[in-house]
Amino acid sequence: MQTRTPVTTRTLGSTRTLGTDGPVVSALGLGAMGMTNGVYGASDRAESIATVHAALDAGITLIDTGDHYGTGHNEMLLAEALRDRPRDSYLLSVKFGALSQPGGGFNGQDSRPAAVKNFLIHSMTRLGVDHIDIYRPARLDPAVPIEETVGAIKEMIDAGHVRHVGLSEVGADTIRRAHAVHPVADLQIEYSLISRAVESEVLPTLRELGIGLTAYGVLSRGLISGHWKPADAGRPGENRGRMPRFQGANAEHNLALVEALRRVAGTRDVTVAQLAIAWVAAQGDDIVPLVGARTRTRLAEALASANLKLSAADLAEIERAVPKGAARGDRYPSAMMSGVGVGN
């Protein structure tokens, strides 16, 4: 029987603001993607719902999902988990437009204005809510100007169905163009110790414009969590083995970085995951790490990172253990890398 680590009520008291005009949210957000089967292996629906409840009880207010996660099942799971919770006690961040096909796989992105409104009503219906707090295209649609997509979201804001515009995995030029149509609350993008491409141009642009950053992949899909092992790649429903960073010699090299990070974590009496999450949070008060906890045990571990304050000396030691650019392998397969606005 798995031991459950208790989550103390209201563990997370601190908040951060997403950009100049965005909402106030908890200092950590909960990413729900992994709660759907076929992403990181089998998931437990009852435990997933219990984890959402534990996150809310601990003070997490920001919950992130996508209409394509489990082809809608992720939103329906959240609807069940949130059914008895006051609507003003949480904020929903929803990505839309990623096209799926029978048998698995994606067919691109649809961000046409008519599609935006269509996806929105389906998400609100599955989630059982009358508005989405932050609505964002999952990826840039090369066939549709970002101005048209954001303009459609703005219409939905004016109609009361959406509260804020968000973006996901786009570069600095797209951010500027979108923000000129309507203020953008935040950009959701991968950011971790081994995924730092945002630092060169994207993060300075966000700060210039007063836009927040919600960082997903803060543990690089578990690679730098201190828990993942190469043998895990063979589990049913596990898809991380398709990603170059988890393959062969790349994985061996990257896990050596994890061991270097583990030695640093040991000096602070924390776990590797806690140190890695705290590092992202320490990069600025305008950054909110999203933790993809699927169980209450992993949630409790992640929540403890909020109380970990890193000194300049700590950050320098972490940098020595895992220098910028030290990881090997792309964060996505080559076909998917072409759809993101920044690199690794």
Measure the CA–CA gap between 266 and 262, rounded to whole angstroms. 6
The long-range contacts involving 308-314, CB below 8 angstroms and separated by at least 24 positions, are: 308/268, 308/270, 308/274, 308/275, 308/278, 309/278, 309/282, 310/278, 310/279, 310/282, 314/264, 314/268
Catalytic residue, from 69, 90, 135, 191: name it: 69
Token output for 252 = 């061996």
Pairing of the two strands 132-137 and 91-96: parallel
Give residues with Cβ within 8 angstroms of 196, minimum separation 6.
324, 325
Within 10 angstroms of residue 121's Cβ, the number of other Cβ atoms is 11
Active-site residue 69, yes or no? Answer: yes
Q: Contact at 8 Å (CB) between 216 and 49?
A: no
Which residues are catalytically annotated? 69
